[in-house]
Chains A and B, each alone.
Chain A
Amino acid sequence: MANTPGAIPEQTTRTVVPKAPLLKRLRGQRQLMFMSLPIVAYILVFSYYPIWGWVMAFQNYSPAKSFTQQEWVGLKHFKFLLTDDAFLNVLRNTIAMSVINMVLGFATAIIFAILLNEIKHKFYKRTIQTISYLPHFLSWIIVTGIVASSLSVDGGIVNVVLMKLHIIQEPIMWLSVPEYFWGIVGASHVWKEVGWNAIIYLAAITSIDPSLYEAAEIDGANRYKKMLYVTLPGIKSIVIILLIMNMGWILEAGFEVQYLLGNGVVVDWSQTIDIFVLKYGLQIGNYSLATAAGIFKTVVSITLIFAANSISKRLGEDRLI
C-alpha cells in the first residue's frame, strides 16, 4: 500500500468512457438535477451570498450608511491585524489549541475504539460506550461549569484528589496559570468528545474482514499484533478522510470553551480569533476589523485543507477533493 522510496507508484487504471454532450447528460440525469436544486439554492444563499459582506473588510464600515457612502480604506485592517502583538498571540493560541484538540481528539478516539473493540462482553461494551458518549450531548456552558468547579481551589475534585495522593501540597489555581490553559481545554475536549468520535471508528472496525484476523492468528499474531497490523490499517482510510475534513476546521479552535473558561490572567494563552473578533470587532462596533479577521481565518483554512488533501494523495490514500 504505502510507497517505499524508489518504488514505482502504482498506476490507477480507469476505463475511459466517451463523454456524451453536456445537454444530453443533463437531460439523462434530470431527476438527480432536480433533487439537487434545493441544496444548491441553500448553499448559494447561505454560503456564497454572505461572501458579499467581505467588502466590509476594505472599508471603515458603518451600518448607518449605504454602500456608496462607505469610506474605503484598502488593506488597513489587515495591516493592523498582522502588526498587532495581541493578534499574533491570538493566532498562535488558535493554531496551538486546534492542533492539540485535533491530535488528542484523533489519538484518544482511535485508541478508545480499538480498546473497546477488544471487549467481548456485549453488556460491558455497550455500557462503556454509552457512558463515554453522553457528555457529547451537554452544551459547552455546562461542561465549562463542570470543569471550573472540578478545578476550583475551594473543594474542587482535582485538587482534592491530588492532595489526598500527596502529589501536591496545597490546592493549585488551575485556571489562573496561563501555561495550563491549553491543557485544560484539550482535556475538556477529550472528556466531552472521545466517546462520540470513537463511534465512526468502531463502525469502520466492524467492516474489517474477520478472515484477516483468522489468518493473522494462524500466523501466530497475539492480541496486540492483531490490533497493530490488522485493525489499524483497516481503519486507515477513514482516519485520513476525517483528518482532511477536520483540517478545514483547524482555525475553529472554538469560542465557547475559551470564552467561558478564560479570564484576564490567562488572556495571553486563551484568546482565540473568534474572541478577538468579538472583543475588538462586535463589542466596539468595529465590523470591518472583525470581517478582516474572519477572511484571514477562511484563507488559512482553505490553504490547509488543500495541503492536507495533496499530502493524502501522495500517501496514495483516498482524497476528498
Chain B
Amino acid sequence: MGGLKKKKLWGSVSLVLALSLALAGCSGDNEKATTKDGKEVLNITAFIGTPNQAPAKDNRIYKKIQDELGVNLEMEFLVGDLQQKLGVMIAGGDFPDLITADTKLVSAGAVIPLEDLIEEHAPNLKKHFGKDWNRMKDSSDGHIYWLPNYGVYTGEFISNYYSGPAFWIQKSILKDAGYPTPKTLDDFTTLVRDYAAKNPTIDGQPTIGFTTLASDWRTFPLLNPPEHLTGHPNDGGVVVDDSGVATVFADKDISKRYYKELNNLYNEGLLDKEAFVQNYDQYLAKISSGRVLSMFDQHWNFQAGEDPLVAQGKIGQTYVGFPLVYDTSITDHYLDRPVINLNNGFGISKDAEDPVALIKFLDKLMDEKYQKLLSWGEEGVDYQVNEEGRFYRTPEQRTEQDDPAWRLVNKAEGFYAAAPKLEGTFEDGNAIGAINQPEEFYDNLKPEDKELLDAYGFKTWSDFFSPAPENPVYYPAWQVDLKEGSDAAVANKQMTDTSLKFLPKAIMSKPNEFDNIWTEYVDAYKKIDVKSYEDRINEQLKWRIENWSVK
C-alpha cells in the first residue's frame, strides 16, 4: 500500500478526466453564426415526418432565409417508421422546436396550443387560416395545435396537375392503343393485357402488368380502390352514405369484386408477384425501371419513382391517371375540392424555448415575398417575369427543376412541403406553384405529353376526372383522430393486419380457392371489434357536422 500505487491510481484517473474533457471540448461548437447585419442567428430545430433527402449544406434558399430572417433551420427528416420514431420521442420526452403533426403528440401533451400565439403575433397566419379556424380546433379540447400544410386557397383555385388517387397507366400504352379512355376496371385491364402480351419485356426486363403496395402505413394502394370503384370519394377505411353514416368496406362484396379481379391478373401472370413483399423503396425502384405498366396509387406517393424516368426522358413510361369505376352507371368521385389538410403540417413543441420567435418566423414566411422564394425561387435565377408581370421559366430553368440533385442545392423542398403555405394565386395573379401557372404548365409539357393531351382534347391532367362536387361538411373521414391507445385504434390496427394477411393470400391463390380464402377473411374480420372503430368515426363526423357547418 505504498504511496507509489496511490499516485499511479490518481494519475490514471486524472488522465481519464483530461481525456474526457478534451473530447467534450471537441463536441461543443460555441461559435454563433450571425446574419448580414450582425444579429445573432436563431437556431430552430425541426422534425419533418417524411423521408426527404437532407438539403445540401450550402443550400441557396436556406442560406437566404438565414441571411434575411436570421433563422437557421436544423432539420431532421424521417428515417424508418414515423409512428415508431414519434413513440420513441414521446417515451424519451425530448422534442425539437417544430414538430411534424401527429395526433399522438397531442395526447402526449408534447405540443402547445397555438391560437393565442397566432392571434397576438402572427397576422399573416391568422389571415391565411381565418376561414378554417374552427376546423383546426381539436375536437376534444378546442385548442389549435397544428398549422396545416396544404389545402388553404387564396385567389383563384387552379389545378393542372393531379396528385390524388387514380388508376395509373403508362402513356405509351395509351399511344399504342390509339388514345382510348378506359372507364371501367375491365376496360383498363384489357388495355394492360393487350400491351403486356405485345411487350413481354421492357428495356430487357420482364414486364409487370400491375403492381400494388402494402408496406408500413402506405397500405392505401391495396386497400382503398374499392371505395373509388364504387364512386365514393377518398374517406380512407370507410365509405360514408348520403346521411353521413360511415361503414367499413374492406370485408364487403364491393371489395371482393376488386380483389377477385386482381386474383385473375395474378393467375395470368400480370400482377407483380412481389407486390406484397416489397417495401416502399423497392416499389419506387421498380417504377423507375419503367417496366410497371399500371397501378392504383396516389400520385404524390409514387412521384419519386417517376422523377428518374422524366430525367432520363422516358416520358412514354410515365403515367396518366384514370378515374375507374365498376360500371358506367357510377359517376367517378376521385377529384375532390381541396380540403384543409388537418392533423398535418407543423406544431410547436413544449420544449421550444421561444415560441413567439418561432411563430413570428413562420408568419414572416407567409409573406408573399417568401412564398415566391419558396415555390418559384429567385427572380432572374429560377424564373423570369415578362412585360405583363407573368412568371415563366426558360427551358434551361425547367431542366434544372427536373433534376433531383440540383433541387437539393437550390430548393428548400423539405421544409416547404411541411410548412403552412399559400396556395392558389398571388395578389399579382400569378399562380403560387409553377406547375399551376397555366401557360407555364403547358410550356413545360414534354412533346409527348402535349401530343397525348391534344389527342384527348384536354388542357390539364385533371381533365381526365369528373369535376369535383361540393364536399360534405365532414369530409374527409380519414382525417378523424382515433385517439391513441383507444379500442378504435387497436381495432383499426387489427383490421389492417387482417387485411394484409388475407388479401395477398386470396389474390395469390388458385382461382377456385379464392372464395374459400375470402370466407376465412370475412370470418377473421368478424372477430375484430369493428364497431368501436365505426362508432368513433361516426361520432366525430356528427361532431363535425354540428361544429363546422357555416352558421
Most chain B beta carbons < 10 A, residue from A86, A284, A289: A284
Kindly list chain A residues whose C-beta atoms are within 8 Å of the C-beta of B273. 153-154, 173
Task: For A281, give its contact among B87, B274, B504 (CB under 8 Å).
Answer: B87
Query: Cβ of B484 and Cβ of A284 under 8 Å apart?
Result: yes
Kindly list chain B residues whose C-beta atoms are within 8 Å of the C-beta of A31. 5, 9
Chain B residue nearest in CB terms to A80: B490
Query: Cβ of A265 and Cβ of B504 under 8 Å apart?
Result: yes
CB distance from B214 to the nearest CB of A (A): 6
Chain B residue nearest in CB terms to A141: B80
Query: Cβ of A280 and Cβ of B490 under 8 Å apart?
Result: yes
Asked if B84 lies at the interface with its beta carbon under 8 angstroms from chain A, I say yes
Asked if B108 lies at the interface with its beta carbon under 8 angstroms from chain A, I say yes
Within 8 A of B (CB), among A145-179: 148, 152-154, 173, 175-176
Question: Can you pick out 25 interface pairs between chain A and chain B where the beta carbons lie within 8 Å of each other?
Answer: A31-B5, A34-B9, A60-B485, A64-B107, A64-B109, A86-B497, A148-B282, A176-B277, A263-B214, A264-B214, A264-B276, A264-B504, A265-B276, A267-B501, A278-B81, A278-B84, A279-B493, A282-B84, A282-B87, A283-B87, A284-B489, A285-B489, A287-B87, A287-B485, A289-B485
The 5 closest A-B pairs by CB, nearest first: A285-B484, A264-B500, A282-B87, A64-B109, A283-B83
Chain A residue nearest in CB terms to B109: A64
Q: Of the 9-residue stretches B35-43, B88-96, B194-202, which lies at the interface with chain A?
A: B88-96
Asked if B536 lies at the interface with its beta carbon under 8 angstroms from chain A, I say no
Query: Cβ of B107 and Cβ of A62 under 8 Å apart?
Result: yes
Asked if A268 lies at the interface with its beta carbon under 8 angstroms from chain B, I say yes
How many chain B residues sit at the interface, stated as a range, is: 35 or more
Kindly list chain B residues whose C-beta atoms are within 8 Å of the C-beta of A288. 485
Q: For the complex, what is the distance from the CA of A284 to the CA of B490, rounded to whole Å?
A: 7
Query: Cβ of A284 and Cβ of B493 under 8 Å apart?
Result: yes
Question: In the complex where A153-B274, A280-B490 touch, is A63 in contact with B206 (Cβ < 8 A)?
Answer: no
Kindly list chain A residues whose C-beta atoms are within 8 Å of the C-beta of B84. 278, 282-283
Q: For the complex, what is the distance from the CA of A62 to the CA of B107, rounded to whole Å?
A: 7
Contact with A along B87-131 (1 / 0, CB 8 A): 110110100000000001001111000000000000000000000
Asked if A286 lies at the interface with its beta carbon under 8 angstroms from chain B, I say yes
Contact with B along A46-82 (1 / 0, CB 8 A): 0000000000000010111100000000000000000
How many chain A residues sit at the interface, stated as a range, is: 20 to 34
Contact with B along A260-272 (1 / 0, CB 8 A): 0001110110000
Query: Cβ of A263 and Cβ of B277 under 8 Å apart?
Result: yes
Query: Cβ of A285 and Cβ of B108 under 8 Å apart?
Result: yes
Task: For A280, give its contact among B274, B276, B493, B500 (CB under 8 Å).
Answer: B493
Kindly list chain B residues whose C-beta atoms are within 8 Å of the C-beta of A284. 83, 484-485, 489-490, 492-493
Query: Cβ of A286 and Cβ of B484 under 8 Å apart?
Result: yes
Contact with A along B300-325 (1 / 0, CB 8 A): 00000000000000000000000000
Instruction: Give me the interface of A with B, judged by CB distance under 8 Å.
Output: 31, 34, 60, 62-65, 86, 148, 152-154, 173, 175-176, 263-265, 267-268, 278-289
Within 8 A of A (CB), among B330-350: none
Q: For the complex, what is the distance from the CA of A287 to the CA of B504, rounded to whole Å?
A: 30
Asked if B505 lies at the interface with its beta carbon under 8 angstroms from chain A, I say yes
Chain A residue nearest in CB terms to B90: A63
Contact with A along B495-515 (1 / 0, CB 8 A): 001011101110010000000
Q: For the complex, what is the distance from the CA of A283 to the CA of B91, rounded to whole Å?
A: 12
CB distance from A162 to the nearest CB of B (A): 16
Most chain A beta carbons < 10 A, residue from B81, B90, B273, B274: B274
Chain A residue nearest in CB terms to B214: A264
Kindly list chain A residues whose C-beta atoms are within 8 Å of the C-beta of B91. 63, 282, 287
CB distance from B102 to the nearest CB of A (A): 9
Kindly list chain B residues whose C-beta atoms are within 8 Å of the C-beta of A62. 107-108, 485
Kindly list chain B residues whose C-beta atoms are within 8 Å of the C-beta of A34. 9
CB distance from B90 to the nearest CB of A (A): 5
Kindly list chain B residues whose C-beta atoms are within 8 Å of the C-beta of A286. 484-485, 489-490
CB distance from B92 to the nearest CB of A (A): 10
Chain B residue nearest in CB terms to A175: B277
Contact with A along B21-50 (1 / 0, CB 8 A): 000000000000000000000000000000
Contact with A along B461-491 (1 / 0, CB 8 A): 0000000000000000000000011000110
Q: For the complex, what is the distance from the CA of A255 to the CA of B278, rounded to whole Å?
A: 18
Most chain B beta carbons < 10 A, residue from A34, A279, A281, A285: A285
Query: Cβ of A154 and Cβ of B485 under 8 Å apart?
Result: no
Kindly list chain B residues whose C-beta atoms are within 8 Å of the C-beta of A289. 485
Chain B residue nearest in CB terms to A265: B504
Question: In the complex where A285-B87, A287-B91 touch, is A265 in contact with B490 (Cβ < 8 A)?
Answer: no
Q: For the complex, what is the distance from the CA of A148 to the CA of B93, rounded to whole Å?
A: 36
Contact with A along B347-386 (1 / 0, CB 8 A): 0000000000000000000000000000000000000000
Q: For the complex, what is the distance from the CA of A176 to the CA of B214, rounded to whole Å?
A: 13
Query: Cβ of A63 and Cβ of B501 under 8 Å apart?
Result: no
Q: For the complex, what is the distance from the CA of A294 to the CA of B494, rounded to whole Å?
A: 20
Most chain A beta carbons < 10 A, residue from B206, B215, B276: B276
